[in-house]
């Protein structure tokens, strides 16, 4: 199979990123109650919407990332035919969506080194600070024995920003 592409962006760049990439699938990771207008070229069945807050521990009035969120992501990645790109976004394109993209890399390229995949993420986005709770849950679910957690810790916190620039990762 040829290389598939994943694009990561902020909410403000979804329509533009979907259009410019000719994406066929979209994942939305936003706080409960947030809304998004699905771009016309994305069919409802190829748009996964997950309501979760960008937090690592429970907080009143927020939805903490949970195993069910990771299971939904993994099922969606598994159903993705990779014929057209996939766009993943959260509010700022810095934490939840880069975490989901890293989870996709690890799930769809199971023989690749977690550290190298995390380094690819850092090269693609100097601002990415993947949500550690999502990474920890995926690490356990994918049987990566802490290697995903360690790889994300090793790349460190991304550069401060209001909103991350859109970026692309290839799954080869």
Q: Model confidence over 30-55: pLDDT tens digits?
A: 999 998 999 999 999 999 999 999 99
Q: What is the pTM of this model?
A: 0.96
Structure tokens at 147: 């290697």
- pLDDT value of position 2: 53
Tokens 């969506």 sit on residue:
97
152 contacts 118 by C-beta, under 8 angstroms: yes
For residue 169, pLDDT beyond 60: yes
Kindly state the average pLDDT of the residues 124-140. 98
Q: How far apart are CA 167 and CA 7, in angstroms?
A: 6
Place 56 in a pLDDT band, splitting at 50, 70 and 90: confident
Fold topology of 4-171? 3.90.190
pLDDT, position 1: 44
């Amino acid at each position: 199979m040829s290389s598939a592409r994943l694009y990561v962006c902020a909410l403000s760049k979804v329509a533009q990123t979907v259009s410019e990439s000719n994406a066929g699938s979209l994942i939305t990771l936003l706080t409960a109650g947030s809304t998004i207008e699905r771009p016309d070229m994305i069919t409802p069945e190829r748009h996964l919407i997950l309501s979760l807050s960008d937090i690592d521990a429970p907080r009143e009035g927020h939805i903490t990332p949970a195993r069910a969120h990771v299971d939904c992501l993994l099922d969606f990645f598994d159903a993705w035919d990779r014929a057209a790109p996939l766009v993943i976004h959260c509010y700022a394109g810095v934490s939840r969506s880069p975490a989901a993209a890293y989870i996709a890399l690890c799930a769809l390229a199971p023989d690749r080194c977690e550290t190298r995949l995390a380094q690819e993420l850092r090269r693609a986005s100097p601002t990415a600070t993947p949500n550690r709770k999502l990474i920890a849950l995926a690490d356990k679910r994918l049987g990566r024995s802490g290697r995903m957690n360690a790889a994300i810790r090793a790349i460190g916190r991304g550069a401060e920003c209001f909103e991350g620039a859109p970026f692309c990762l290839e799954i080869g």
